[in-house]
């Protein structure tokens, strides 16, 4: 059992798959992604809408792309997590498959369907059948480095997805934004890595407060990628059920559920460093009600990143660290994902 979150020797015994190492490299992967070269896609068609399709960790990368770039893209963009594609998807859709392994059956099926509907297609990932199909049918494919678990490849997948969108001309040059965010994340990593003692490490504090509780994450609707990623990281790394909801909507329904004492749950409010006055008011009002009706003092996450992408990936990195520290407190190796492996195996077998 772990004696303290500052005991690096004990941590390395629990962290047999070295998830901490993968999270430490998250900012570096983003800096590397800033050096991807846009592809020469030779598409004369300008898409009328964009679908980013993927599952799990890869879909989280698509969510971040959407939150980051949707203000800069003039056509509707959606993230789809299903092989059944919406009715509007057709020849004027840019369909980008996002799959780290390139072996996810839902993503391969959706990609196949997108080709049948004559979409403009593209893909990003580290290889697998998706890459093989793309090279056979000459679909642009942007390759990231292999050998990670998909959730640890988020920053690379965001970088590759953004550069692919740039290649199709739907967004301008993204690489300065990747680099700037990468540098901000390097600074944030310096405050949160395991070598930084509990007395100065906010991610360790948050993990300790969450021990034995169900994390309930709240953030602004425009940062939903961050909240969903955190919920998934608590599941996959800490092996804990967590949930999330979005503001201001949660103030109109879920806040009611905090009435009375709920000692088994703890709210985590994830802030943006550039909240508008209206948004800060929403947070203040929500927090005040939690305190009043739920007698609970929420945890708050702020990272101080200031670039558009850093303001999303800063909190993602912070909560990634929290999820592994919580795993260590529970004596759990964050890397293996037996349940996901079984689901993937059975889902493939049962389709045959
Ligand atoms: O984190 C994980 O391992 C999963 O959520 C995977 O990302 C998910 O199964 C989809 O796989 P891939 O990202 O390789 O398409």
Q: Is the CB of 61 under 6 A from ligand 1?
A: no
Q: Which residue, among 56, 102, 110, 79, has the nearest Cα to 343 in the 3D structure?
A: 56
For ligand 1, atom 5, which residue shows the shortest CA distance?
56
Instruction: Give me ligand 1 centre to Cα 202, in Å.
Output: 28
Between the CA of 82 and the centroid of ligand 1 the distance, in Å, is 13
Q: Is 130 in the pocket of ligand 1 (CB under 6 A)?
A: no
Residues 26-60 as b/e (b if ≥16 CB within 10 A, e otherwise) read bbebbbbbbebebeeeeeeeebebbbbbbbbbbbb
pLDDT of residue 345: 95
Quick check: CB of 131 below 6 Å from ligand 1? no
Task: Give residue 2's pLDDT.
Answer: 84
Question: Is the beta carbon of 56 within 6 A of some atom in ligand 1?
Answer: yes
Share of the chain above pLDDT 70, in %: 99
| Token pair recorded at residue 194 | 């395991």
Residue minimizing CA distance to atom 9 of ligand 1 = 56
Ligand 1 centroid, distance to 143 Cα (angstroms): 16
For residue 181, with 0-12 CB atoms within 10 Å meaning exposed, 13-18 middle and 19 or more buried, which class applies? buried
CA of 81 to the centre of ligand 1 (A): 11
DSSP 44-61: -PPPSEEEEE--HHHHHH
Residue nearest to atom 14 of ligand 1 (CA): 101
User: E-assigned strands of the chain?
Assistant: 49-53, 77-80, 93-99, 120-125, 141-143, 214-220, 243-247, 265-270, 299-301
Whether the CA torsion 103, 60, 217, 322 is positive or negative: it is positive
How far is 316 from 61, CA to CA, in rounded Å?
11
Q: Is 100 in the pocket of ligand 1 (CB under 6 A)?
A: yes
Report d(CA 3, CA 236) in Å as an integer.
23
CA 221 to each of CA 30, 67, 315: distance values in angstroms, whole numbers, following the listed order: 24, 9, 14
What's the 62 CA to ligand 1 centre distance in angstroms? 12
Residue 184 CB partners (closer than 8 Å, separation 6+): 305, 306, 307, 310, 314
149 lines ligand 1 (CB under 6 A): yes
Query: How many Å lie between the centroid of ligand 1 and the Cα of residue 59?
Result: 8
How far apart CA 151 and CA 129 sit, in angstroms, is: 19
Q: How far apart are the CA of 151 and the centre of ligand 1, in A?
A: 7
Return d(Cα 288, Cα 294) in angstroms, integer: 10
Share of the chain above pLDDT 90, in %: 95
Rounded CA-CA distance 206/70 in Å is 31
Q: Cα–Cα distance between 334 and 311 in angstroms, integer? A: 25
Q: Does residue 101's CB lie within 6 angstroms of at least one atom of ligand 1?
A: yes
The verdict on the CB of residue 60 being under 6 Å from ligand 1 is no
Ligand 1 contact, 228 CB (< 6 A): no
Per-residue tokens: 245: 């909801």
Does the Cβ of 151 fall within 6 Å of ligand 1?
yes
Note the pLDDT tens digit of each residue in 90-146.
Answer: 999 999 999 999 999 999 999 999 999 999 999 999 999 999 999 999 999 999 999
- What region, left, alpha or beta, does residue 295 occupy, with left being phi > 0 and alpha being psi -120 to 50 degrees? left
What is the residue with the minimal CA distance to atom 3 of ligand 1?
150
pLDDT at 351: 84
Max Cα-Cα span within the chain: 61
Q: What is the pLDDT of residue 45?
A: 76
pTM for this prediction: 0.97
Residue nearest atom 4 of ligand 1, based on CA coordinates: 56
- In this prediction, the residues of the chain whose per-residue pLDDT falls under 50 are none
Cis-peptide into 302, omega within 30 deg? no
The minimum-distance atom of ligand 1 relative to the CA of 104 is: 15
pLDDT reported for residue 149: 97
């Amino acid at each position: 059992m772990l004696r303290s979150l500052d005991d690096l020797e004990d941590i390395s015994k629990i962290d047999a798959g070295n998830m901490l190492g993968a999270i430490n490299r998250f900012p570096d992967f983003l800096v590397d992604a800033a050096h991807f070269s846009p592809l020469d896609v030779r598409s004369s068609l300008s898409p009328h809408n964009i679908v980013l399709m993927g599952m799990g960790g890869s879909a989280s990368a698509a969510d971040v792309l959407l939150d980051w770039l949707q203000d800069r893209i003039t056509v509707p963009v959606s993230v789809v997590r299903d092989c059944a594609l919406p009715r509007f998807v057709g020849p004027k859709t840019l369909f980008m498959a996002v799959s780290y392994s390139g072996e996810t059956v839902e993503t391969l099926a959706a990609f196949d369907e997108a080709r049948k509907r004559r979409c403009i297609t593209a893909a990003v990932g580290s290889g697998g059948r998706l890459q093989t199909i793309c090279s056979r049918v000459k679909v642009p494919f942007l390759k990231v480095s292999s050998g990670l678990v998909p959730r640890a490849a988020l920053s690379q997948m965001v970088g590759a997805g953004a550069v692919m969108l740039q290649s199709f001309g739907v967004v301008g040059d993204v690489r300065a934004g990747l680099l700037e965010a990468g540098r901000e994340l390097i600074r944030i990593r310096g405050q949160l890595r395991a070598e930084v003692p509990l007395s100065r490490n906010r991610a360790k504090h948050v993990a300790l407060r969450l021990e034995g509780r169900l994390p309930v994450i709240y953030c602004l609707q425009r940062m939903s990628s961050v909240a969903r990623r955190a919920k998934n990281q608590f599941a996959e790394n800490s092996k804990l059920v967590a949930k999330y909801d979005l503001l201001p909507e949660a103030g109109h329904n879920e806040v009611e559920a905090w009435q009375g004492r709920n000692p088994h749950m703890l709210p985590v409010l994830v802030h943006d460093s550039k909240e508008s006055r209206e948004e800060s008011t929403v947070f203040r009002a929500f927090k005040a009600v939690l305190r009043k009706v739920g007698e609970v003092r929420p945890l708050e996450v702020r990272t101080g990143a200031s670039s558009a992408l850093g303001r999303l990936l800063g909190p993602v990195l912070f909560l990634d660290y929290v999820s592994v520290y919580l795993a260590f407190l529970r004596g759990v190796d964050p890397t293996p994902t037996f349940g996901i492996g079984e689901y993937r195996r059975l889902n493939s077998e049962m389709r045959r």
